[in-house]
Amino acid sequence: MRFPLRWRLLLLTGAAPAVLALGTYAYLSGVVTAQVRRDVDDSLTRAALVFEKQFGERSEALGVAARVIVRDPRFFSAVALPGGAADPGARATVRGIALDFQRLTHADVFEVWDRRGRVLASIGASASSPGDRARLMQEAARGREFSGLLVDRQAHWQVALAPVTADGALVGALLVGSAIGPELARELHVLTRGEVTFVDDGFPTGTSLADTADVRAMLVGVGARLQHPSAVPVEILEHSGAWVTLARPLPGTLASQGQSFVIQRPLGEEIAFLRRAQKALLELALIAVLIAGVLSVITAERITRPILALVRGAEAMERGDYDAPIEVGGADEIGYLGSRFREMRAREREYVTALEEVARLKSEFISLASHQLRTPITVIKGYNELFYEGALGNLTPHQRQALAAIQESVEGLVRLTEDATRMAQIEGERLILDREHQDLAPLVGEAVAEAQRDAIGRHLTVEQHLPEGLVLAYVDGPRLAQALANLVRNGIRFTPEGGRVDVRLNTDPAGCVLEVTDTGVGIAPEQQKQLFTRAFMVRDVAHLHSSNTLEFGSAGLGLGLAIARGIVEAHGGTIAVESTPGKGSVFTIRIPRLALLPPGSRGPRERRQGPDEGARSAA
């Protein structure tokens, strides 16, 4: 299948830019998506660092506040009062002073202990457990401060412990702390622009998330990562959409302790931004594809239009039209090609006109020469018959042999003149058919018999295959028989001794079919295309010689097949050949149904098929 030049140009000039534009869109879309995700991850990581820094500053502020308070004279004197936790008056004094300091610090945990760890005063929303106090008093007994977390019943606080000493002896301790819960989560939400959740062993102790379904989805998504936190944010699909989530242990704790904070950023805005960016990129890509398509169409049109004009001009030349307009202009290479083509066409027209004139003169000469030769040939043939029959005197055997040779040569000369006349009529389109209703079976017999008369001395089999009944057609019988005889002669001439030539007559829905099959030398594929042209001869260099008879491999004038083609085409039919070198050839004549007798018509005569019809006859 031929792929038109226009489509190839469109493919090259349009498809390549389109693929480039779409590939650029895909690449830029991927780059933008990756960059947006990196920006979100970086913002979460920075938010976590901000929280950890703030957490450290908060712990340090609690420690500073505790140290300042324990050094205050009023606080120190109240804690150092004798009696301790057992004296109600001492507890009341300490509580009053502690209340004043708690108002200054706004601490959620504000406890004053005596030297035994008993609570002198507890001001604030939360209080420590006995176990925490016992553990922390051990630190205070050593004179050391403590800063860290207290965890109790799915809650945790950030605390600072400062011991109260007098002359190196421990007289009490101050515990100051702030809760790690919803209020801190909301503060961090404002600071980091992310959602913050504090988790105590899988339980949320404080979150800035408004939807509890999102909290549950977050805990499910980061459940395993709370035990093995990662520095890389992950994407979690929650109730309200996709979130980028980063989970880390609280500063000063281990991941195995279950104290963690989770920072999240919703991807809704980023996804909307990505969609807008991708839409813009896609629009640009489509615009680029459209522009490339328009340019490719314009380019293909500018290139192919003059080429198509040249092609149409060449096709018109093939039909014999040398005046078809060729609209090819311009100063580029195609314009130069168009001008050269017009010059070539003008020269070709002059050349063809000269050849046609030569052919006309040649045909007229052949026709005139053939006509003029008939009179002397007739005289020679007449006198030769008179001599041969003894009308002009007795003849010796040698004289009779000489006269027979003359007769054979005269008959060859008569056939030559008839073939030349017929060829001139065909080339000049002056072949007139004398059609009448004919039964084709007798015509086949006549053609085979005529060919066999020229095959004296040949040892091969010529067989006819005729259908039962009449095969009627409206044809010129002698001319069609001549065409078929030429094919049979050709088969006999190029079939070696012992071979066979089969002649078949059949009918099909399109008309009648005449086939001549031989087992001869065959015809090369490159010779089959010009087989039916005038004066073409198949040459077998191993057996080639000239002869007036059908000796194997002998060369005739090369007019037989051309005359057969002209006669068949004058009937509106076709002639074709199929051949394999070394195996033989099949020549097929097809006469269309229009040339057949109309259904129901009766021919001028009927033919009865004898029992010996279809049998082979030896040449």
Domain ranges of the chain: 1-271, 334-407, 433-537+558-592
Share of the chain above pLDDT 70, in %: 82
Cα distances (angstroms) measured from residue 179 to each of 149, 159, 187, 225: 10, 9, 13, 24
- Whether the per-residue pLDDT at 530 is higher than 80: the answer is no
- Whether the per-residue pLDDT at 616 is higher than 60: the answer is no
Residue tagged 């030297």 (tokens)? 115
- Whether the per-residue pLDDT at 448 is higher than 90: the answer is yes
Predicted local confidence at residue 543, as pLDDT: 42
In 106-200, which residue ranges form alpha helices assigned H by DSSP? Answer: 130-141, 182-192
pTM of the model: 0.46
Q: pLDDT digit string (tens) for 467-507?
A: 988 888 888 899 899 999 989 988 998 899 999 999 999 98
DSSP label at residue 12: I
Which pair of tokens denotes residue 260?
């963690």
At 247, give phi and psi (nearest 5°).
-115, 135
- Whether the per-residue pLDDT at 18 is higher than 90: the answer is no
The mean pLDDT of 89-104, rounded to a whole number, is: 88
Predicted local confidence at residue 534, as pLDDT: 53
The mean pLDDT of 451-462, rounded to a whole number, is: 86
The mean pLDDT of 269-276, rounded to a whole number, is: 76
Please choose, from the candidates 129, 251, 106, the residue with its C-alpha nearest in 3D space to the C-alpha of residue 179. Answer: 106
Q: Looking at the DSSP assignment, which residues form a beta bridge with residue 400?
A: none
Question: What is the rounded distance in angstroms from the CA atom of residue 321 to the CA atom of residue 339?
Answer: 18
Q: Looking at the DSSP assignment, which residues form a beta bridge with residue 234?
A: 245
Question: What is the rounded distance in angstroms from the CA atom of residue 122 to the CA atom of residue 128?
Answer: 9
Please choose, from the candidates 43, 36, 26, the residue with its C-alpha nearest in 3D space to the C-alpha of residue 273. Answer: 36
What is the DSSP secondary-structure string of 225-252?
Answer: HHHS--SS-EEEEETTEEEEEEEEEPTT
CA 16 to chain centre: 14
Please choose, from the candidates 60, 52, 317, the residue with its C-alpha nearest in 3D space to the C-alpha of residue 191. Answer: 52
Q: Whole-number mean pLDDT of the chain?
A: 79
Please choose, from the candidates 558, 587, 559, the residue with its C-alpha nearest in 3D space to the C-alpha of residue 573. Answer: 587
Q: Looking at the DSSP assignment, which residues form a beta bridge with residue 265?
A: 244
The mean pLDDT of 83-95, rounded to a whole number, is: 81
In terms of DSSP bridges, do strands 500-508 and 511-518 run parallel, antiparallel, or are they unpaired?
antiparallel
Q: For the domain 1-271, what is the CATH code?
A: 3.30.450.20
Predicted local confidence at residue 239, as pLDDT: 61
- Whether the per-residue pLDDT at 449 is higher than 60: the answer is yes
Euclidean distance between the first and the last CA atom of the chain, given in angstroms as a whole number = 48
DSSP label at residue 598: P
Question: What is the rounded distance in angstroms from the CA atom of residue 607 to the CA atom of residue 469?
Answer: 8
In 319-428, which residue ranges form alpha helices assigned H by DSSP? Answer: 333-389, 397-427
Question: What is the rounded distance in angstroms from the CA atom of residue 166 to the CA atom of residue 481?
Answer: 148
Virtual CA dihedral for 426, 430, 435, 440, nearest 10 degrees? 0
Predicted local confidence at residue 242, as pLDDT: 78
CATH topology of domain 433-537+558-592: Heat Shock Protein 90 (3.30.565)
DSSP label at residue 150: E
Do residues 452 and 458 make contact, with C-beta atoms less than 8 angstroms apart?
no
Task: Tell whether the torsion through CA atoms of 443, 448, 451 and 453 is positive or negative.
Answer: negative
Predicted local confidence at residue 443, as pLDDT: 92
Predicted local confidence at residue 354, as pLDDT: 86
- Whether the per-residue pLDDT at 401 is higher than 60: the answer is yes
Cα distances (angstroms) measured from residue 592 to each of 477, 566, 603, 604, 616: 15, 15, 18, 21, 28
Residue tagged 């693929």 (tokens)? 19
The mean pLDDT of 592-602, rounded to a whole number, is: 55
- Whether the per-residue pLDDT at 257 is higher than 80: the answer is no
At 514, give phi and psi (nearest 5°).
-115, 125
Task: Tell whether the torsion through CA atoms of 483, 489, 494 and 498 is positive or negative.
Answer: positive
**pLDDT tier, 285 (very low <50, low <70, confident <90, very high otherwise):** confident
CA 171 to chain centre: 90
Specify which of 94-103, 200-209, 409-418 reaches the highest per-range mean pLDDT.
94-103
The mean pLDDT of 209-227, rounded to a whole number, is: 76
With b for 16 or more beta-carbon neighbours within 10 A and e for fewer, the 565-604 pattern comes to bbbbebbebebebebeeeebbbbbbbbebebbbeeeeebe
The mean pLDDT of 419-424, rounded to a whole number, is: 70
- Whether the per-residue pLDDT at 618 is higher than 50: the answer is no
Cα distances (angstroms) measured from residue 580 to each of 69, 143, 491, 501, 611: 120, 118, 14, 15, 35
The mean pLDDT of 55-71, rounded to a whole number, is: 90
Predicted local confidence at residue 458, as pLDDT: 85
Question: What is the rounded distance in angstroms from the CA atom of residue 494 to the CA atom of residue 521?
Answer: 6
**pLDDT tier, 613 (very low <50, low <70, confident <90, very high otherwise):** very low
Do residues 472 and 433 make contact, with C-beta atoms less than 8 angstroms apart?
no
**What contacts 5, CB < 8 A, 6 or more positions away?**
303, 304, 307
Share of the chain above pLDDT 90, in %: 12
Q: pLDDT digit string (tens) for 357-385?
A: 877 777 677 667 766 777 787 888 787 78
Same fold flag, 1-271 and 433-537+558-592? no
Question: What is the rounded distance in angstroms from the CA atom of residue 400 to the CA atom of residue 405?
Answer: 9
Q: pLDDT digit string (tens) for 322-338?
A: 777 777 767 777 777 87
Residue tagged 């109260």 (tokens)? 164
Question: What is the rounded distance in angstroms from the CA atom of residue 495 to the CA atom of residue 22?
Answer: 68
Please choose, from the candidates 144, 148, 137, 124, the residue with its C-alpha nearest in 3D space to the C-alpha of residue 59. Answer: 148
With b for 16 or more beta-carbon neighbours within 10 A and e for fewer, the 488-500 pattern comes to bbbbbbbbeeebb
- Whether the per-residue pLDDT at 513 is higher than 50: the answer is yes
